[in-house]
Structure 1
């Protein structure tokens, strides 16, 4: 919600449209190199298969990929 500038002392309330909600943005960080020792990208932590399927993956599949990424990040911190 926003307000238009006052016109003649009257402030008019204007409802601004919301941008489209993106539930699952791509995890890509533009650092695209697969670390062969672990089998996933050093930037986004996705496997080749996960990278290839991302654009056609369902929301459930994208959620699973994000969980895989979180698990890999935890592995690296351990």
Structure 2
């Protein structure tokens, strides 16, 4: 698998965890951030779905 095929990180270089262990920049948990490089594309896509859910909760 080439680098182009990997699911890209949602990191936006605003790195700080809130009281719930969620990054205020990318909405991933600390654990998700630490494990990102060893995740499969399927695992990464699952994290991105969770990120989208977290972002939607912030909008309300």
Same fold (TM > 0.5): yes
**Structure having the larger proportion of residues in strand:** 1
Flag structure 1 segments of 5+ consecutive residues without an equivalent.
Answer: 1-19
Q: Which runs of 4+ in 1 moved over 4 A?
A: none
Deviation track 1:2-45 (CA, whole Å, cap 9, x = no partner) reads: xxxxxxxxxxxxxxxxxx63341111111110011x33000010
Cα RMSD after superposing both structures: 1.3
Q: Which has the larger radius of gyration?
A: 1
Flag structure 2 segments of 5+ consecutive residues without an equivalent.
Answer: none
